[in-house]
Amino acid sequence: MAVNLQLVPATAGKRLGAAVIDWLPPLTVLVLTLTVGFAGITRTRNGQYITYDTASLVLFGSIGLGLTLVYLFVVMGIEARTGKTPGNLLMGIRSADNDGYAPGAGAVFLRGLFTGAGMLVALLAAVLVVVFKWFGPALFILAPLLLAGAAWAVLVVVSNTWDRNGRLRGWQDKAAKALVFDVKAGRDPITTGGIQGPYSFAPLDLPPVQQVLSPVAGIPAASPPVQPSPPVQPSPPVQAPSQTSPSQTMPYTAPGSFAPPSAAPPGTSAAAGGPAGASVPMRGAQHHVDDDVERTQVRPQAGGPAPVAVLRIRLDDGRDFQLDRSVLVGRNPVGQSGEQHAQLLAVDDPGRSISKTHLHLLTDGAGIWVTDRNSTNGSAVTTPNGARTPLAPGVPTFVTPGSSVHFGDRTFYLGQA
């Protein structure tokens, strides 16, 4: 199946769905613990003084606040590195930075701060209620603030609806210089190379990969047709005016046919009519195969066809692989259209110096054709005599056994089994 390589901005509905899923667990825990805490407050009167026992509020409020903070830090950490949250996963969206990579902790924090500003105000009001013991009007203070905070958060989440640039960014995205993409309708830039596409893992202006025809034909090409030698024009009959009568002239021969052998007329010399029984070269005579040296056939060797060499590569980490006809090499190679049956050779690269699909190898009897898939850090070949040649992106290069191919920070050696 073809892969959609386009980037699709997340809709306001998916953003809101993901936000509700992300906020629901911590808000539920916080509301329940605060409700239990407020319900456990006791009031005692001592003369003219009223004393409030807030031990239950402090205990349950601390538990709820602690669990909420742990949840937020864990979710923010995961989103900073991968663009994923529980809501993002369920709704099929990913948050990213301005270049399409993982957003980072700073962007995630700013987005969360901007979106949850109203809820932070309500939380600060709850702290003031406890400190100043405004328990009587607490409900009338906190309830409107919580509703206003929730309304503000929803408004911010769906604010990309009013973005004139294709509804690409919301208010929180502009503040944090972030983006949110729909990875079900389009591709995930975090795992396929950022804004520049699936062939680059660096924010560079790289040209798109061009489809290159295989330099090794699947069927041997037919030899060009051999042009026949120009036909020999028939020589006109030679007559001896003084010795040959009109009735003794040579009979007419149609083009493309042979004249029947006949004896030379009496008195005809060899120079005039040739020796007796000699045929005159006619138009359309067939070309002899021995006249064409290019068509010499190779005699098959005794004992059957020569064995075909098995090509293998040995990576610089010591691993050895036997090559199929078509091989894709990279950090996590993926075939294009028509390459579903290619051998996928994943190479570990902690330094991320090689691209996801870095090289395409096409085996031939005498070597391999190596094509650099417009990788970020390029590729090169070192021949057995020590000459090193960079590979042009998208151009197949023939590599013989005994050579080494360098891609990113990794190398493999081509040999025969």
Mean pLDDT across the stretch 151-177?
A: 92
> What's the pLDDT at 254?
39
pLDDT band, very low/low/confident/very high, at 111 (cuts 50, 70, 90): very high
Mean pLDDT across the stretch 27-49?
A: 79
- Indicate the pTM of the whole model: 0.45
> What's the pLDDT at 250?
38
> What's the pLDDT at 361?
93
The three-state (H, E, C) secondary structure of the chain, written as one string: CCCCCCCCECCHHHHHHHHHHHHHHHHHHHHHHHHHHHHCCEEEEECCEEEEECHHHHHHHHHHHHHHHHHHHHHHHHHHHHCCCHHHHHHCEEEEECCCCCCHHHHHHHHHHHHCHHHHHHHHHHHHHHHHCCCCCHHHHHHHHHHHHHHHHHHHHCHHHHCCCCCCCCHHHHHHCEEEEECCCCCCHHHHCHHHCCCCCCCCCCCCCCCCCCCCCCCCCCCCCCCCCCCCCCCCCCCCCCCCCHHHCCCCCCCCCCCCCCCCCCCCCHHHHCCCCCCCCCCCCCCCHHHCHHHCCCCCCCCCCCCCCCEEEEECCCCEEECCCEEEEECCCCCCCCCCCCEEEECCCCCCCCCCCCEEEEECCCCEEEEECCCCCCEEEECCCCCEEECCECCCEEECCCCEEEECCEEEEEEEC
Predicted confidence (pLDDT) at residue 267 exceeds the cutoff of 80: no
> What's the pLDDT at 80?
94
Q: What is the mean pLDDT of the chain?
A: 75
Mean pLDDT across the stretch 239-266?
A: 40
> What's the pLDDT at 389?
92
Q: Which CATH architecture describes the domain 311-416?
A: Sandwich (2.60)
Q: How far apart are CA 255 and CA 235, in angstroms?
A: 11
199-233 per-position pLDDT tens digit: 444 333 434 444 444 454 444 444 444 444 444 45
Predicted confidence (pLDDT) at residue 344 exceeds the cutoff of 60: yes
Q: Mutual orientation of helices 55-82 and 104-115 as an angle, nearest 10°? A: 130
CB distance 347 to 354 below 8 Å: yes
Predicted confidence (pLDDT) at residue 343 exceeds the cutoff of 50: yes
Mean pLDDT across the stretch 144-154?
A: 87
Q: How far apart are CA 392 and CA 372, in angstroms?
A: 7
pLDDT band, very low/low/confident/very high, at 175 (cuts 50, 70, 90): very high
Going by C-alpha positions, the residue among 19, 8, 356 that lies closest to residue 183 is 8
Predicted confidence (pLDDT) at residue 239 exceeds the cutoff of 80: no
> What's the pLDDT at 154?
93
How far is CA 191 from each of CA 90, 122, 174, 205, rounded to the nearest angstrom? 18, 38, 23, 18
> What's the pLDDT at 351?
83
Percent over 90 (pLDDT), the chain: 34
274-317 per-position pLDDT tens digit: 444 444 444 444 555 445 545 555 555 555 454 556 888 999 88
> What's the pLDDT at 4?
58
> What's the pLDDT at 417?
67
> What's the pLDDT at 83?
94
pLDDT band, very low/low/confident/very high, at 341 (cuts 50, 70, 90): confident
The Cβ of residue 128 has, within 10 Å, a number of other Cβ atoms equal to 12
Predicted confidence (pLDDT) at residue 26 exceeds the cutoff of 70: yes
How far is CA 251 from each of CA 239, 246, 247, 280, rounded to the nearest angstrom? 12, 11, 10, 12
pLDDT band, very low/low/confident/very high, at 162 (cuts 50, 70, 90): very high
Predicted confidence (pLDDT) at residue 241 exceeds the cutoff of 60: no
Domain positions in the chain: 12-192, 311-416
> What's the pLDDT at 354?
92
**Which residues have C-beta within 8 Å of that of residue 132, sequence separation ≥ 6?**
none
pLDDT band, very low/low/confident/very high, at 30 (cuts 50, 70, 90): confident
- From 44-53, 278-287, 349-358, the region with the lowest mean pLDDT: 278-287
How far is CA 355 from each of CA 57, 318, 344, 411, rounded to the nearest angstrom? 55, 21, 14, 14
pLDDT band, very low/low/confident/very high, at 1 (cuts 50, 70, 90): very low
* Chain centroid offset of residue 310 CA: 29
> What's the pLDDT at 37?
81
